[in-house]
Amino acid sequence: MITALSLHGLALSRGERPLFRDLDLQVAAGEAVALNGANGAGKTSLLRAVAGLLRPDAGTVTFAGPAGPLDPDAARAGLHLVGHLDGLKGARTVAEELAFQSRWLGGGDPAGAIAALGLHRLTGLEVRRLSAGQRRRVALARLIAAPRSLWLLDEPLTPLDARWRAAFGALMQAHLAGGGLILAAVHDPLPIPAREIVLGADR
C-alpha cells in the first residue's frame, strides 16, 4: 500500500521536445492533487512517468508505504492509471471486461463497482455500444473493483454528466477518507478539495 508519493527534480520529454524540468511534488495519504496546464504541457506524460510507463530524463519518482520506501515494481501493484486510453475491447461485453480488469488488477467480484458506478443496466452490452460517458464509468469501475491506494486519473470527469461528476466526486472523497492518494490531470476543477499544481506555468 502506497502512503506517499514524491517526485524530485523530475524532467520529462516527448521525443525531442522537453516538457518540463525540475518538478518537485509530494502527495501524502488522504490528499488529492489536481494537475493543471495547457494542452501539451505534459500532464499525461507525468502520470505515465509516475506509473513507470515512461522513463524520466532526470529526477526520481519514489513511493513510500507504512513501513518505509517501496520498491518501484512493488509500488506499481499499488496504483491505478485511468486515462482516455481505457484498454476496453469493443467486442467484449461490459461484464466480461469488468470481470477481467478486476481480477487482473488483483480485485474480486466487481459487483460493488457495478453498483457504485451505476453499470447494472449496461453489463450485457458490448463496450462499442456505450456512449463516451458510459464507457468512462466502466473504465473508472476498476478503481472500486480492485482497491489500490494511488489513483492516477487523466481527465477523469471530461465525458461524465453533472450527476456522475458529483457521484464520482463522492467516490474520490471516500477514497481519500480511507487513506488514498489522488493525482489527477484536469482542466475543470475537481468536485473535491484538491491542491492545484500548474504545469508549464513558467513558460
Residues lying near other proteins in the complex (CB under 8 A)? 48, 51-55, 76-77, 79-81, 83-89, 91-92, 96, 100-101, 103-106
- Using CA atoms, how far apart are residues 128 and 109, in angstroms rounded to an integer? 23
Q: Would you say 82 and 143 are in contact if contact means Cβ atoms under 8 Å apart?
A: yes
Q: Based on CB atoms, which residue is closest to other proteins, 12 or 194?
A: 12
Q: Which is nearer to other proteins, 7 or 194 (CB)?
A: 7
Q: Which is nearer to other proteins, 38 or 104 (CB)?
A: 104
Tell me the pairing of strands 79-82 and 32-36.
unpaired
| CB of 189 vs other proteins, minimal distance in Å | 25
What's the number of CA atoms in the CB half-sphere (13 Å) around residue 51?
A: 20
Cα 134–Cα 132–Cα 106 angle in degrees, nearest 5: 55
Cell of 77: 501493484
Residue type, 63: F
Nearest approach, Cβ of residue 131 and other proteins (Å): 17
Phi, psi of 100 (to 5 degrees): -65, -50
Which CB atom, from 8 or from 92, has the smaller least distance to other proteins?
92
CA distances from 183 to 115, 122, 129, 168 (A): 24, 28, 30, 15
Closest approach, Cβ 100 to other proteins, in A, equals 5
Residue 199: half-sphere exposure toward Cβ, Cα within 13 Å: 28
CB of 95 to other proteins, least distance (A): 13
Comparing CA positions, the residue from 12, 34, 38, 39 lying closest to residue 23 is 12
- Pick between residue 5 and residue 194 the one whose CB is nearest to other proteins: 5
Closest contact distance (angstroms) between CB of 22 and other proteins is 20
* C-beta closer to other proteins: residue 4 or 81: 81
Residue 9 beta carbon to other proteins: minimum distance, rounded to whole angstroms: 19
